[in-house]
Amino acid sequence: MDNSQINTIAEIAQKVSAENDRRFRQTSTIDQLLSERDEVLVEMCGLADLGFESTNAETIVNSLKSFSQALVDYTALGHFEIYERIIEGKERRVSVSQVANRVYPKISETTEKFVEFNDKYDGVDDKESLLGLRDDLSNIGEALAERIESEDKLLSEMSGRSFSAGSS
């Protein structure tokens, strides 16, 4: 074997290694996103289960802060680690781009709802500030369901795995 053949083999090995690294990072990111999504659902259920009329404001506010932080973390991870690559046109797989073009508008719409919710309840500290929380939480639950449905389609196409809410 001459040097040019060795160099060609080395280049191929390097490309395969880089692709394997990218796929590993993608799988890890998807798994982390699913884990954070599960955390959002757990926090939301915990908050929703509180008897707002009989629970003191401090307990509600603490649960709300925990839920809001989980929601922001989950939303940011999805945006910066998965969707940004697609938005910037860096996704090379045609099938992933096609699914993304169909589902991303719904994902983007839910992101706006999550940000509005977070902004509305950021810094609240009394029961009067929480009067609309039950309705707002219901709306966020609906938005989460829409996002999960859209997100699962995209994640399935990206990874070749099947996803559904709560089965990460």
What mean pLDDT is predicted for residues 139-149? 97
Residue 40, SS3 per DSSP: helix
* Predicted local distance difference test score (pLDDT) of residue 45: 95
Position 16 scores a pLDDT of 59
Is residue 111 within 8 Å of residue 75, measured between CB atoms? yes
77-89 confidence digits (pLDDT tens): 998 888 888 888 8
Domains of the chain: 3-159 (1.20.120.1370)
> Quick one: which of 67, 63, 80 has its CA closest to 140?
67
User: Average model confidence (pLDDT) for the chain?
Assistant: 87
Torsion angle of alpha carbons 87, 88, 90, 96, nearest 10°? 10
Write the pLDDT tens digit of every residue in 57-66: 899 999 999 9
Q: What confidence score (pLDDT) does residue 6 get?
A: 74
* Per-residue pLDDT reduced to its tens digit, 97-142: 899 999 999 999 999 999 999 999 999 988 888 989 999 999 999 9
Range with the poorest average pLDDT among 14-28, 138-152, 154-168:
14-28
Percent of the chain with pLDDT over 70: 89
Q: Give Cβ neighbours of residue 163 (< 8 Å, ≥ 6 apart).
A: 34, 151, 152, 155, 156
